[in-house]
Amino acid sequence: MTPLLWIFTRWRGWRRPPYRDRWWERFGWGDIHHDRPIWIHAVSVGEAIAAVPLVHALQKRYPNIPILVTSTTPTGAEIVAQRLGTSVRRHYLPYDTSAAMRRFLQRQQPRACLIMETEIWPNLCYWAARFQLPVLLINARLSPRSLKGYGRFSRLFRPALASMTAVAAQSPEDAEAFRQLGAAKVLVIENIKYDLPEPLEALEKGRFWRQHLATRQVWVFASTHAGEEKMAIDVFKQLQIAWPHLLLVLIPRHPHRRDTVEVALQMAGVFYALRSQEIEVESKNVLLVDTLGEVMDFYAAADLVTIGGSFVPVGGHNPLEAAVLSCPIIFGPYMENFRRIARDMLDGNAAVQVDDANALAQQLQQWLQHPQSAQEQGNRALAFVQQQRGSLEKIMQILDDLDLS
């Protein structure tokens, strides 16, 4: 299998150059360490962002134990570098082959492994058990579609889940799904994403953007996927009729899709600026954010926020980063990845869900006409987050029982 993986690695690096970075780590190679870190795996952007408060809590609880953070995607690795810098050691997760995973564990020698959300790797779990390494699945979630997919290969994944020290599920529904797959110890600890730290840096950068934008109203459509940018542009052009100074901040989930989004903007005849090239947007209708790590900065400057990945069948993205910044939030019908958060926010009147572009335009129009109503909606979103905090301390208690020192 290794020759095929080598060919795959070269091919992917050719198609997407960021995948060439530290490619050897994907085969388990890297510096040898003997300091026995706590290892956190955060596959990509969303998991890396969610891992940040967990890292800070671990550093406070265990100040003498280093932290190792692995990622799978270059974008996830970049978020870790931006938000945690040199306070953690970074590594790409090896391919889940027996040789690569064994080599990685021998060279890194972690004392515990905390996997974010829904990453179940059979060889990782097998060698962790061989090395008597505790493995916890943190913030675990499992959509009905994922449950069905994993269930098809239950002979492969059941032993992996059974070997885990614990699964900390986001909800009773997630807990039951993991039990069906074979997890032995399952706890319901809610979602650690509620334990976001106070976003002081984002608030400061948001004030900077507000100074540049003066009195313009700002609609942020963040973490968009294919199909959503055109929808956003169409809705924006409708809104421009009554609000000609409205600014759309369009943030694709994957910055490498910039060229495709630019074509859509050009075909629509929209004047736009690229975030990577300029910050002066007074004469522009749209700011296309083709950089990483600035979503919360723009949330802090926003009057209105729409969550991407929710108007196409992707499963939605995390609305809590907007909520903690008191943003009025709209998302679409596809929020399976955050179904419990979405449901609870809707029940608490902390967000609005719409079915399509027409309903999105109507809700945005209502908030633009009545900014006080939008502000009250944002205040409810912040209050909702503040009421849900506390899951991180429960995770710390599980780790205390493992006696990591």
Angle between helices 339-347 and 371-388 in degrees, nearest 10: 120
Q: In this structure, what token pair is assigned to residue 10?
A: 């070269």
List, edge to edge, every strand of the sheet that includes 247-252.
272-274, 286-288, 247-252, 218-224, 304-307, 329-331, 352-353
Q: Which of 25, 47, 117, 190 is catalytic?
A: 47
What is the distance in angstroms between the CA of the first residue and the CA of the last residue of the chain? 38
Task: Give me the residues paired with residue 353 across strands.
Answer: 331
- Alpha-carbon distance 5 to 329, whole Å? 42
Q: Is the CB of residue 248 less than 8 Å from the CB of residue 221? A: yes
List, edge to edge, every strand of the sheet that includes 166-169.
89-92, 67-71, 38-41, 112-116, 135-140, 166-169, 186-188
Known catalytic membership, residue 47: yes
Q: Is the CB of residue 342 less than 8 Å from the CB of residue 319? A: yes
CA-to-CA dists, residue 354 to 70, 78, 362, angstroms: 36, 32, 10
Angle between helices 228-242 and 357-369 in degrees, nearest 10: 40
Element at 247 (helix H, strand E):
strand 247-252
Task: Give the count of beta carbons closer than 10 Å to the beta carbon of residue 346.
Answer: 14
The string of DSSP letters for 120-133 reads: --HHHHHHHHHTT-
What are the catalytic residues?
A: 47
